[in-house]
Each structure stands twice: as structure tokens, then as C-alpha cells.
Amino acid sequence: MTSAAPSAQHSPGAGPRLADARRTLHETFGFTDFKPGQEAVIDALLAGRNALAVMPTGSGKSLCFQIPALLFDGLTIVVSPLVALMQDQVAALKLAGVAADGIHSGNERHENVDIWKRAAAGDTRLLYMAPERLMTERMLAALKRLPVKLFAIDEAHCISQWGPAFRPEYADLSRLPEIFPGIPIAALTATADEITRGDIAGRLFGGRVEQLVLGFDRSNIRLTVAMKREWKRQLADFVARFEGASGIVYCLSRRKTEECAAMLADKGVRALPYHAGMSAEEREANQNVFMTEPGVVIVATIAFGMGIDKADVRYVFHADLPASVEAYYQEIGRAGRDGAPAEAHMLYGLDDIRMRRLFIENEEAGEERKRREHKRLDALLGYCEAPACRRVTLLEYFGERTEACGNCDACLSPAEREDGTVEAQLILSAAKQTGEVFGASHLIDVVRGASTEKIARFRHDRLNCHGAGAERNANEWRSLVRQMVAAGFLQIDIAGYGGIKITGKGRELARGEGEFLYRKDAVQRRSKAERRQARKQEQLVEDGELTPEQSALLSRLKALRLELAQARAVPAYVVFADKTLIEMARRRPRTEAEFATISGVGAKKLEQFAEPFLAAINAAANDFVPD
């Protein structure tokens, strides 16, 4: 853990320490060992010091504050941005026997009143709420009268004005150290670059915080990017490679989400939509199916994913360009959480860039923030156009250095880099001669010598650049223009409705200063033999995980989990995570003592769930008759 000046709070030798934390980890949550990073954060908080933890999705951030909350003699306030996330975490804690509650808009008023009474009476250990509710003068005054021992701020990147997900209501949390002096604060997030981390440390802690930044690398995820051509065919071909596997497809709009899900369903894929335009009941039903049943594909907007703990997601497919490197990293982190091979595949094109630039310009924000958001988008485009290892580019963004990974398309099928300076200068000439007001399609028509109505109307067939690039096809020119935009020679004029503008860098190239190297797009599809071999390898991985009998048992356990979850009105994964069910299927515990040794089975869950799960395991054993 890297650290600034230590906080002047509790003395390091006072109060509960790591031996107590380990006991709580095992007895309450059913785990025998801490994951990397957890112990360091917990130790800092138990000693009364502030902690800023940047830990990848799936690394167990929540336990970093939940365990100290159970060891402190008082109340922990947890700040969370989403009602659904609060509900799920509270439900999971209650199933583990922890006194947790949440005050939020998803409750009736009388429910919130009762929850507050329990907290005021000392019957609650963790109280969840949104930042705008916490930071009201009335709530702050009320909490001052209670023995608050810890604040935990989830999704802490929302505090930073330079972060891609800044929320003004989060910024007010910077008042907490002044209002509650001496109370440690934990700030946790999965994604924060160096600028964002520095802003959080300064705003929330005045620099007095210990920082833990775990490695960002998820080496089991293969990273691939492709130019968007026929996106429906590209998506269908990709999903067909993972027949029978679970996956997530991210789309930019609700309409496209529905369209994608329907298209995949027509091809025999069990695909379900998930977006904010659906009712809460529909979203929950589709999420439960995805979490419980094998081979289900969720097609979603970014509304899906936070708090999801499904271990066997084999791929994440972006049908549209994500908002930023941070968003991309967080979304692909939902794949391969079991450690087995997974793939993150992204499509992008010029229209994606135009839409993302438009979203930034339409945001109600100052010019400095917009400038930074454009730079973040530039960084993502740089990743898309990476001529060498994508993982090197991705991790360098977060300040982590690594060697070429051998598990991305740039490493496995290195693209040729060719000198495209002459072609780039031709596009620059066409843009200049047409007034820098036309989009890419028109410029390509001009250089290819097309005879369109628009070219005739503006007399662009009389320009000396007309037809000068006829030897290349339209796809090649589109790739060149896209890469020129990504490399900063051209920019898309949002105010000009998508017109192509020449940048200062582009004007230098037009004068003969510098060069433009472009990446030849690999448009060839894999042969049938290559696809068969890839699928064979994937099957070997799957077969190595569970035997057919174990897989059948896992299906039974997932069905039982869903039944128990529905009876308690909680999401399925709150009962047990997939990893826990997989371990049950593999080890087949027959007694309560054996069941208690399964990772994720704490004392309270042992009491509630040992009987039904042991019955299911024993019934499956009786059904199986060896040959």
C-alpha cells in the first residue's frame, strides 16, 4: 500500500486487528483466506487510517469495509450510487446474518422510518444510503448523535471532477472529514486513472490517505477489436463461436438492445434484453435467468453489470464504442471471473466516434471537463488503433507497465503497418477543397471518383482530387479515414453535423511534415478448420472444469438457488455466488460439517441453506448410476 502522511486517528495498537478480521472472514462469510489487497485495506481501517482502494471487479472490495464494520463497536455508513446495488448488498449481508439496512427511494416512507429507528437503537451495523440523502443537514445532524465508526464510499471515482463518471452529489462527500473528525473513511472503486486517484485523495482526504492500487491485468481475457462493418453478422458470427456459453453484449441504445436480442434469438441463441426502459420486474426476471441457467446471453445497455457476480461469463461483446477506457475496463471485467479463458471483443466505427463526441458536447459541463472527456475518448481510440499489444496500451493508461501479452489480436495476428502518407494527403486535400464541411462518406466518394447527386450539385467532380484514389475500395478508404481521426490528423466536427475537419497535425502532414502509418485491417474470416480447432480448445477448458455429472448437479443447484432466492425476494447470486455452487458440485459435501468447508458458506448461510442444498446433492448422487 502506498501512503501519504498517516492519519492522526486511532493509535495503531488499539482495537480489533487482523486476527479478529480473519475469524470474521471465516465465521461470517465462509472464506478461509483474504484475496490480494483486502488485508492491507482492512488493516489500515482497523487502525483508524483512511484508505483509497482501486481494485478490479471481482476482487472483493466490499469485504474491505464490511469486516471492519463488524469489528467496530458502532455504525458504519456505506455510500452507494444505485438503489439496486444497495438492495443486493443488504440482502446478501442479511443472508450472512449481518444486521444491515438501506435507507433509499426504493422503500416506502414507513420502512425508512423503521430502518432509521433500528440504526438509532444500535441494532444495525451497516447502513446504506445515497450521497444526496447522507449529506442533508438533517441526516448529518442525526448521525452526529450516533456512534458512527466508519464511512465507506463505493464507486468513489464519482467524486472526481476529472473522472468519466463524475456526480456532483458525490462531491459534497468531501465535507465528511470536517463533520466527523477522526472517523476513518474507505473509498473504493474498480477504475481510476492517476489523475482521478489524485483528485479523490485531495478532495476527500486532503492527501492524508493510504492508497492501494492492485494490478489491473486480467490475463485470461483475450482482447480483440474490429472495425464495424456488418455489425449484425459480426455479432452473430462471434456468438456462434461460444455455443452454449454465457455472455454479455453491450449496446449503446435501448432500441439496439432489443434488436440485438431478437436477432440472436432468431438464430437459436437464448438472448434476453436488459435496459432501463424495461420494468424492474422484467429486468430482475431476465437477470435471474442469466445468473441461474447455462448458455444465456444478456444484451444490455450499461444499466447492467454493477454488483453482478457470475463466474462463468465467457465473453463480453461491445456492439458499440464504450464511453471511455475506464468504462471499457469495468465492463470487460465481468468476463472470466472464474479464471478460465474469456474474450472481450469490441466493434467500432466512425459513427461511434461521432456519437461519443456528440454526447460529450451535449453534456451540461464546463469546457475543461469536456476537454478532458474528449481526451479520454482519444485514449480509447488509441487503444482501438493500437499497432502492437493491446494489453500494453490498456494497462499503460492506468499507469501499469507490462510486456506483450500474447493474448490479444495484435499479438496473435500482428497487423501490417504501411506508409499511408500519400493516401492521407489525398484525403486532407479533399477535405480542404470541399470546405471541411462534408462527412467521411462524401470525401470517399470524391477521391474514388463517384458520380453522386451531391458531387454533381456541388461540382466536386471538377476538383483535381476527384477520382485520384479510385484504385482503393470504399472499405479501405473508410479504414484510412477512421485511423486518421484516431491518430489526430482529422477530427469530426460535432457542431457541423459530422463534417470532417483538418487538425493542426493534419495541416503539417499536408505540408509534407511527418508521416502517416496505418494498420491494415484483418478482414479475412477464420477458416472452418480454425473455428473448429478454437471450439475444440474451448471445449477442453469447459470439460476440465466439471464432469458431465458435476455439470448436471450444478444445474440442479442453480435451480434450487433461484427458488430460494425468489422466496426471499432477492437476486439469485445473493444466496450463493456461482463459484460456491461450482465448488459444491465438484466436492459434493454430504454432511453439514463438509458443507461448512465450502468457500462462501458462513455460519448464517450454513444454518439457512445446508439442509436444502445437501438434500439436492444427495438426491443427485442417488440418481446417478455408474455404467
Architecture of the domain delimited by 2-213: 3-Layer(aba) Sandwich (3.40)
pLDDT value for 6: 33
Q: How many residues does the chain have?
A: 627
Tell me the sheet residues that pair with 250: 300, 318
The CATH fold assigned to 417-519 is Arc Repressor Mutant, subunit A (1.10.10)
189 phi, psi to nearest 5 deg: -160, 160
Give the span between the Cα atoms of 155 and 191, in whole angstroms. Answer: 9
* Domains 2-213 and 221-348+386-412 belong to one CATH topology: yes
Which residues, including other chains, have CB under 8 Å from residue 120's CB and lie 6 or more apart?
142, 145, 146
Torsion angle defined by CA atoms of residues 279, 283, 285 and 286, in that order, rounded to the nearest 10 degrees = 140
The CATH fold assigned to 221-348+386-412 is Rossmann fold (3.40.50)
Which residues, including other chains, have CB under 8 Å from residue 307's CB and lie 6 or more apart?
84, 85, 88, 89
Give the span between the Cα atoms of 174 and 332, in whole angstroms. Answer: 30
Give the span between the Cα atoms of 33 and 73, in whole angstroms. Answer: 24
Output the furthest CA–CA distance in the chain (Å, rounded): 86
Torsion angle defined by CA atoms of residues 322, 325, 327 and 329, in that order, rounded to the nearest 10 degrees = 110
pLDDT value for 353: 86
386 phi, psi to nearest 5 deg: -55, 125
Instruction: Say whether domain 544-623 belongs to CATH 1.10.150.80.
Output: yes
DSSP 169-198: HHHGGGGHHHHSTT--EEEEES---HHHHH
Strand locations in 173-286 (E): 185-189, 210-213, 221-227, 246-250, 270-274
pLDDT value for 492: 74
Q: What is the pLDDT of residues 349-403, one digit of tens each?
A: 888 888 888 888 888 777 877 877 887 888 788 788 877 789 988 887 887 888 8
Tell me, yes or no, if the pTM score tops 0.85. no
Give the span between the Cα atoms of 187 and 500, in whole angstroms. Answer: 42
Which residues, including other chains, have CB under 8 Å from residue 356's CB and lie 6 or more apart?
321, 323, 377
Question: Which parts of the chain register pLDDT below 50?
Answer: 2-14, 522-544, 625-627
Q: Do 66 and 93 touch, CB atoms closer than 8 A?
A: yes
Tell me the sheet residues that pair with 563: none
Query: Domain limits of the chain?
Result: 2-213, 221-348+386-412, 417-519, 544-623
430: three-class secondary structure by DSSP: helix
